[in-house]
């Protein structure tokens, strides 16, 4: 059977990043993009160039670091959005401008206040404008699934004539059924005379839990690009999850005669990188990516599994990169075994980094009898701090109890000089962070704090994620220790080091949005709305 190629368009860095709790800075976007490249996605939507200076700069940086996939930037159907996108992606090996405009009567009437004719006209003009700059232009008909089908077909035909290479039919609000999706794509494939001149794409949201099912229905009807995110993150209830779409295609090849370029063994690592960057835990029952996804607890299942794994296993854990054995390391493990383990987990480090990590590992092995794979990952991930070490923890003492006010005495090092402060608080973490704030003399607020046990045992490592804010923005930090107060201080210092790290000289954004254009006012130009699209 001839398998048709499905293009995987990943929008973790755009639609996913728009979701609360998932925003990423420039270094984090590069790290995620490099992992997406290793995973084998065809297109990375790296951001929305005109939305902010940060988006613009990070799209540019992704283009510099990531060479295999196409790098796309989102644009409204406005010349200056297209100009900004073009500036951001012009350094890419292969760049794509992704335009969108809503086509449903609901959006036309209440959001755009434009007629169908005006939308059709603007779509084709802007596609042609973008094609004058770059060869690869994608056009999305926002709210396609609630758009009149005759009108939808007319717009698809017109934008393909104007030069769009990819036409996306998003279920922007997650309203469609699988039947709706199939009918819409099937109608376009059969009725639009030039439909074969472009790739038809689907972009499905999960508001009714239908994102993956709708995406598969769209592919079966003829769409050849699936727009997805790692772990299904995205606006509101999220997008179709990449790993679920891809593993459906792979596991059910009998009904999906398709192939992708995805190296499925990189799926687990991709989910892990996303979790480590954002600090947001993956639900244990999450299909493919969750920690329970391949666990067989019940006795009946275990018995069947031992007789023949096919009894209860439709895909192997190894096929998505979950390693079967979890070899335990202890304090007698040598550097060689340690390095080998890191290699198996997909990490590579320089000699200096390895010897520093090894000494941290020895430290941990002294405090904790068995070092498991999850401990190693937490330890190694805390080494990725994305900023130079400016402030370092020297020592701390906390005094805490239910009858006293907590106090903390913290000593930090900077350039080999020690600085000490004492502070009180209603709890030991609060007291310790206040002492840190006094020392670094840089006011911040704590926006988020999560503490997780890395493993189940009493001597487990505690992993703390914090999000700190100063007047310039938010900074994430991670800290790992068998002592949760120490982990809290370390996570806070990781964020502070980013905060005080010589801020990149503020560059004037070349495409500052203005309010001088009445059409733009209709297109939601105010800052609060700017990041809410598609
Ligand atoms: Mn979307």
Q: What is the pLDDT of residues 142-167, one digit of tens each?
A: 999 999 999 999 999 999 999 999 99
Total length of the chain: 534
User: Ligand 1 centroid vs 98 CA: distance in angstroms?
Assistant: 13
Domain boundaries defined on the chain: 4-278, 295-322, 325-383, 392-523
User: Ligand 1 centroid vs 530 CA: distance in angstroms?
Assistant: 14
pTM for this prediction: 0.84
| Pairing label, strands 7-10, 225-228 | parallel
User: Ligand 1 centroid vs 140 CA: distance in angstroms?
Assistant: 10
Q: Which residues contact 227 (CB under 8 A, 6 or more apart)?
A: 9, 10, 11, 15, 45, 168, 170, 201, 202, 203, 204, 215, 239, 240
User: Ligand 1 centroid vs 74 CA: distance in angstroms?
Assistant: 11
Q: In this predicted structure, what is the pLDDT of residue 417?
A: 96
User: Ligand 1 centroid vs 473 CA: distance in angstroms?
Assistant: 25
For residues 138 and 280, the model is more confident at 138
User: Ligand 1 centroid vs 132 CA: distance in angstroms?
Assistant: 26
pLDDT interval class at 331 (50, 70, 90): confident
User: Ligand 1 centroid vs 239 CA: distance in angstroms?
Assistant: 7
In angstroms, rounded to a whole number, what is the distance separating the alpha carbons of residues 211 and 383?
35
What percent of the chain stands above pLDDT 90?
A: 66
Q: In this predicted structure, what is the pLDDT of residue 349?
A: 80
Q: In this predicted structure, what is the pLDDT of residue 228?
A: 98
User: Ligand 1 centroid vs 341 CA: distance in angstroms?
Assistant: 38
Q: In this predicted structure, what is the pLDDT of residue 276?
A: 84
Q: Which residues of 409-426 are buried (b: 16+ CB within 10 A; e: fewer)?
A: bbebeeeeeeeebebebe
Helix-then-strand count for the chain, H and E: 18, 16
Tell me the average pLDDT across 319-334: 77
pLDDT at residue 527 greater than cutoff 70: no
Q: What is the pLDDT of residues 77-87, one digit of tens each?
A: 999 999 999 99
pLDDT at residue 120 greater than cutoff 80: yes
User: Ligand 1 centroid vs 400 CA: distance in angstroms?
Assistant: 47
What percent of the chain stands above pLDDT 70?
A: 92
pLDDT interval class at 530 (50, 70, 90): very low
What radius of gyration do the chain's Cα atoms show? 25
In angstroms, rounded to a whole number, what is the distance separating the alpha carbons of residues 67 and 225?
20
pLDDT interval class at 215 (50, 70, 90): very high
Tell me the average pLDDT across 264-279: 91
User: Ligand 1 centroid vs 204 CA: distance in angstroms?
Assistant: 7
Look up residue 403 and give its two tokens.
């009858």
pLDDT interval class at 286 (50, 70, 90): very high
CB atoms within 10 A of CB 274: 25
Q: In this predicted structure, what is the pLDDT of residue 517?
A: 39
Q: What is the pLDDT of residues 393-447, one digit of tens each?
A: 999 999 999 999 999 999 999 999 999 999 999 999 999 999 999 999 999 999 8
For residues 202 and 516, the model is more confident at 202
pLDDT at residue 96 greater than cutoff 80: yes
Q: What is the pLDDT of residues 25-77, one digit of tens each?
A: 888 899 999 999 999 999 999 999 999 999 999 999 999 999 999 999 999 99
User: Ligand 1 centroid vs 281 CA: distance in angstroms?
Assistant: 22
Tell me the average pLDDT across 258-284: 92
pLDDT interval class at 516 (50, 70, 90): very low
CATH architecture of 392-523: 2-Layer Sandwich (3.30)
Mean pLDDT computed over every residue of the chain: 89
Q: In this predicted structure, what is the pLDDT of residue 532?
A: 56
CATH of 4-278, one of 3.40.50.1820, 3.40.50.360, 3.20.20.70, 3.40.640.10: 3.20.20.70
User: Ligand 1 centroid vs 249 CA: distance in angstroms?
Assistant: 22
Residue whose entry in the numeric block shows the structure tokens 């509101």 = 236
In angstroms, rounded to a whole number, what is the distance separating the alpha carbons of residues 122 and 497?
47
CA 33 to chain centre: 9
């Amino acid at each position: 059977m001839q398998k048709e190629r499905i293009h995987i368009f990943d929008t973790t860095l755009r639609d996913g990043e728009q979701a609360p709790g998932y925003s990423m800075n420039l270094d984090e976007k590069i790290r995620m993009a490099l992992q997406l490249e290793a995973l084998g996605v065809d297109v990375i939507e790296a951001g929305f160039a005109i939305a902010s200076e940060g988006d613009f700069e990070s799209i540019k940086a992704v283009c510099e670091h990531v060479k295999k996939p196409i790098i796309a930037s989102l644009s409204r159907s406005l010349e200056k959005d297209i100009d900004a996108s073009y500036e951001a992606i012009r350094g890419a090996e292969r760049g794509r401008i992704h335009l969108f405009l809503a086509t449903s009567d609901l959006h036309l009437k209440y959001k755009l206040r434009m007629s169908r004719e005006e939308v059709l006209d603007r779509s084709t003009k802007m596609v042609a404008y973008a094609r004058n700059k770059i060869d690869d232009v994608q056009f999305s008909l926002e709210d396609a699934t609630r758009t009149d089908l005759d009108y939808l077909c007319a717009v698809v035909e017109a934008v393909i004539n104007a030069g769009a290479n990819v036409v996306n039919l998003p279920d922007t609000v997650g309203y469609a059924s699988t039947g709706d999706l199939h009918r819409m794509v099937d109608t376009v494939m059969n009725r639009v005379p030039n439909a074969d001149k472009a790739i038809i794409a689907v972009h499905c949201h999960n508001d009714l839990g239908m994102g993956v099912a709708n995406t598969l229905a769209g592919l079966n009807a003829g769409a050849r690009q699936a727009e997805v995110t790692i772990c299904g993150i995205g606006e509101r209830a999220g997008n179709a999850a990449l790993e679920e779409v891809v593993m459906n295609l792979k596991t059910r090849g009998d009904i999906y005669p398709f192939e992708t370029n995805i190296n499925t063994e990189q799926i687990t690592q991709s989910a892990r990188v996303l979790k480590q960057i954002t600090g947001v835990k993956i639900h244990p029952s999450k299909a493919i990516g969750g920690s329970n996804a391949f666990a067989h607890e019940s006795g009946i299942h275990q018995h069947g599994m031992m007789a023949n794994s096919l009894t209860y296993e439709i895909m192997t854990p190894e096929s998505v990169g979950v390693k079967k054995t979890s070899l335990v390391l202890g304090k007698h493990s040598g550097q060689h075994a340690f390095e080998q383990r890191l290699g198996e987990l997909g990490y590579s480090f320089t000699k200096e980094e390895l010897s520093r990590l090894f000494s941290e590992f020895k430290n941990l092995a002294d405090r904790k009898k068995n070092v498991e794979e999850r401990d190693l990952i937490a330890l190694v991930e805390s080494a990725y701090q994305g900023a130079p070490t400016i402030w370092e923890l020297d020592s701390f003492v906390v005094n805490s109890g239910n009858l006293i006010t907590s106090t903390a005495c913290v000593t930090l090092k900077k350039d080999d000089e020690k600085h000490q402060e004492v502070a009180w608080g209603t709890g030991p973490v609060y007291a310790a962070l206040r002492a840190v704030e006094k020392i670094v003399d840089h006011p911040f607020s704590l926006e988020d704090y999560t503490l997780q046990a890395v493993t189940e045992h009493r001597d487990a490592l505690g992993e703390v994620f914090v999000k700190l804010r100063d007047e310039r923005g938010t900074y994430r930090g991670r800290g790992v220790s068998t002592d949760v107060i120490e982990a809290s201080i370390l996570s806070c210092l990781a964020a502070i080091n980013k905060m005080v790290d010589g801020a990149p000289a503020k560059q004037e954004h070349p495409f500052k949005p203005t309010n001088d254009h009445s059409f733009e006012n209709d297109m939601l130009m105010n800052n609060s709305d700017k990041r809410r699209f598609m």
